[in-house]
Amino acid sequence: MNWKRIGTGILRITGLRICIASLVPMVTAAIMAYNQTLRFPVKWVLLSFAGILLIETGKHCLNDIVDYRSGVDLSIEPDKATPYSGGKKVLTEHLLTVKEAAVIGAVFLTLAAVIGVAIALHRGPLIWLFGILGVFFACAYSLPPFSLCYRGLGEIAVGITYGPLLFLGMYTVITGAIDKSAVLVSIPFGILIMNVLWINQYPDYEADLKHHKKNWVVRLGKQKSLLIYAICFIFAYCWFALLAVLTKNPLWLIAFAGIPLACSAYRTASRYYRDIPRMMKANQMTIQVYMITGLAVMTTIVLSK
């Protein structure tokens, strides 16, 4: 057994983009919870981060296996191959075998479940709900009989997971309860990360279409899907405007710092959606919008104390 190869495969799966996707809402929730309670249970917060990273890794192992076996990842044309296409490529680039990926996925999800049980026993019964939903979405995203990402439900699952689920999960680990303000703040994170997934489906469009992976970009087509991409950006920033009104706190408008980059991402995607290598900049900018907006929300929470 080549441990160096396997280690490289695991590192590929637990890449920077995975960490960013989950860290942004979790760190924001932790800051919000601390500001409201002045409590910060370091051990449980760190275990929560570790548990989510394990779930993420397990989920991507399962996703790569399903897409590899269905033929999707093997059908990516060379001119469509980008860092955002074809999953993590640990199987197509022979960093892991299917069996190794399955074992790693099972082990990581089991470890995450153990951590989740420990947190739930010490931080309150609500954690059971978040933990069970987290593992469910990780498995159901790709695996039958649910196969959410093949049935046009993957985008919603990602939006729920990286918005309310992660945000409220971390918030509850610290506070022991769910607060209406936390629910409201969690929503735009789900919308913006859903947009990251949305634009990342463009490079895989032809392969997904060929192998009946019926996500919404495949269902609507590349051109019509751009409208939803724009609407998601608009909705997210209108939500921050609504927060400013509801809380009578104009600092929520700091989140508008992401709007110029969101506009650039949309213009790039609209212009180059048929030219995937040139469109790749839109993928990058969509992730950056998510990060900038997250930092802006963190700033708002700190300044609003």
How high is the mean pLDDT of the chain? 94
DSSP output for 236-287: HHHHHHHHHHHHT-GGGGGGGGGHHHHHHHHHHHHHHTT-HHHHHHHHHHHH
Q: pLDDT tier at 102 (50, 70, 90 boundaries)?
A: very high
CB 155 within 8 A of CB 216: yes
pLDDT for the residue numbered 304? 92
Q: What is the C-alpha to C-alpha distance for residues 131 and 257, in angstroms, rounded to an integer?
A: 33
Q: Is the pLDDT of residue 287 over 70?
A: yes
Q: Is the pLDDT of residue 288 over 90?
A: yes
Say which residue the tokens 């309310």 belong to. 164
Q: What is the mean pLDDT of residues 34-41?
A: 95
CA distances from 214 to 72, 261, 267 (A): 12, 29, 25
Longest distance between any two alpha carbons in the chain, whole Å: 60
137 Cβ contact partners less than 8 Å away, ≥ 6 residues apart? 59, 148, 157, 160, 161, 165
CB 286 within 8 A of CB 261: no
pLDDT for the residue numbered 15? 74
Considering the domain 3-303, what is its CATH architecture? Orthogonal Bundle (1.10)
pLDDT for the residue numbered 28? 98
| pLDDT per residue as tens digits for the range 85-99 | 767 889 999 999 999
* Secondary structure (3-state) at 62: helix
| pLDDT per residue as tens digits for the range 167-177 | 999 999 999 99
Q: What is the mean pLDDT of residues 271-288?
A: 96
Cα 27 from chain centre: 14
Radius of gyration of the chain (CA): 19
pLDDT for the residue numbered 78? 78
158 Cβ contact partners less than 8 Å away, ≥ 6 residues apart? 141, 190, 193, 194, 197
Q: Is the pLDDT of residue 30 over 90?
A: yes
Q: What is the pTM of this model?
A: 0.95
- Cis before residue 250, ω within 30 degrees of 0? no
Q: What is the dihedral of CA 137, 141, 147, 153, to 10 degrees?
A: 90
Q: What percent of the chain has pLDDT over 70?
A: 99
Q: Is the pLDDT of residue 79 over 80?
A: no
pLDDT for the residue numbered 111? 97
| pLDDT per residue as tens digits for the range 222-264 | 999 999 999 999 999 999 999 999 999 999 999 999 999 999 9
User: How many CB atoms are located within 10 Å of the residue 252 CB?
Assistant: 24
| pLDDT per residue as tens digits for the range 109-120 | 999 999 999 999
| pLDDT per residue as tens digits for the range 122-172 | 999 999 999 999 999 999 999 999 999 999 999 999 999 999 999 999 999
pLDDT for the residue numbered 87? 76
pLDDT for the residue numbered 86? 66
pLDDT for the residue numbered 301? 97
Q: What is the C-alpha to C-alpha distance for residues 177 and 169, in angstroms, rounded to an integer?
A: 9
136 Cβ contact partners less than 8 Å away, ≥ 6 residues apart? none
pLDDT for the residue numbered 98? 96
Q: What is the mean pLDDT of residues 35-51?
A: 96
| pLDDT per residue as tens digits for the range 7-21 | 899 888 887 677 889
